[in-house]
Amino acid sequence: MRHASLPISLLILAFVCFSSCASGTKKAMVQRERSLIGKWEGVDRTGKPGAFHFFEDGNVVLIIDGKPLGGPESGGLGMLRFTVDYQKDPIELDIIGVDPSGAEQGKILMIVQFITDSKIKIRTYFNDIRPDSFDEETIDDTIVLERAEKSGAEVKNHETTLKKKAIEVATIWTNSLLAGDVKKTLSVSDVPFIVDGEDETNDISELRRQYEEVLEDKGTRSIRITRAEVVDEKVDAPCCRDCSNIILVNCYVEKKMIQVCIKVGKSLKVVGFKE
């Protein structure tokens, strides 16, 4: 089954990045313990720079002539996400276009090979047909990229974006719960879920039931969040068991504070709270 095409503006720019970068033909064994996470840079035949920046949360940004594609600064064209299967040889990489509403708009299927720890090559036909191998690769379908050190500004910008998104999700979750909108509350929730820093719920239907019990007990409330802020210190946070990939947001409602636990993944979801 074929996927819908990526927005043409993204496809054209992605094609420019891919097709203009230098190619290599050296064969190397795939080492699955290596990771694509980080920034990879190349220079095309005309000397113009291009880069892929893979983030731990599953987002990827293409940088062409210093301009980002797929990130918050890409002019409202949507986001780019990626999935990677290190168990395949060659490694399989998918770049996925996501519009501002979160709907998938299409994929470009690729294969990846590590030449060294700091150098990779990527091959793609720029559509939903994946190359089988690097045999008969050409300069038009294969690029070579080298790992670059993350700049402090890039790391800070990404962290700032995640924090803003986490505050938005925590606000939606808290306000919809206060308003008795169980459906909306559930839409930004995920399991396993830590309820009030104590009980763990592993079933989404059970979580729905608990939200409905809150509505039945408290009723619909007109109060809303007055302030929300990210907590940088996550040690022993009661609303999560493993806080390694978690953003904590303190939400203030009148004189009370609710700590909301946001899991970073393909999308940001609430996975616990402590009142």
- From first to last of its 275 residues, the chain has per-residue pLDDT tens of 444 444 444 444 444 444 444 333 333 333 446 889 888 988 655 566 778 889 888 889 877 666 777 766 555 567 889 999 999 999 999 999 887 777 888 898 999 999 998 999 989 888 889 999 999 888 788 888 999 876 666 667 777 888 888 999 999 999 999 999 999 999 999 999 988 878 888 999 999 999 998 889 888 888 899 999 998 765 567 777 776 678 899 999 988 899 999 988 767 889 999 88
pLDDT of residue 208: 93
Q: How far is CA 23 from CA 121, 140, 199, in A?
A: 8, 8, 54
Task: Give me the pLDDT at residue 267, please.
Answer: 78
Conformational region of residue 157, where left means phi above 0, alpha means psi within -120 to 50, and beta covers everything else: alpha
Query: What is the pLDDT at residue 62?
Result: 79
Q: What is the CATH number of domain 8-149?
A: 2.40.128
Q: CA 70 to CA 9: how far, in whole Å?
A: 11
Cα dihedral angle (148, 152, 79, 129), rounded to 10 degrees?
10
Give pTM, 2 decimals.
0.53
What is the C-alpha separation between 192 and 185, in angstroms, rounded? 15
Residues of the chain with CATH 3.10.450.50: 155-274
Fold of 155-274: Nuclear Transport Factor 2; Chain: A, (3.10.450)
Say if residues 185 and 173 touch (Cβ distance below 8 Å).
Answer: yes
Bridge partners for 194 per DSSP: 200, 272
CATH 2.40.128 boundaries in the chain: 8-149
How far is Cα 124 from Cα 120, in angstroms, rounded to an integer? 13
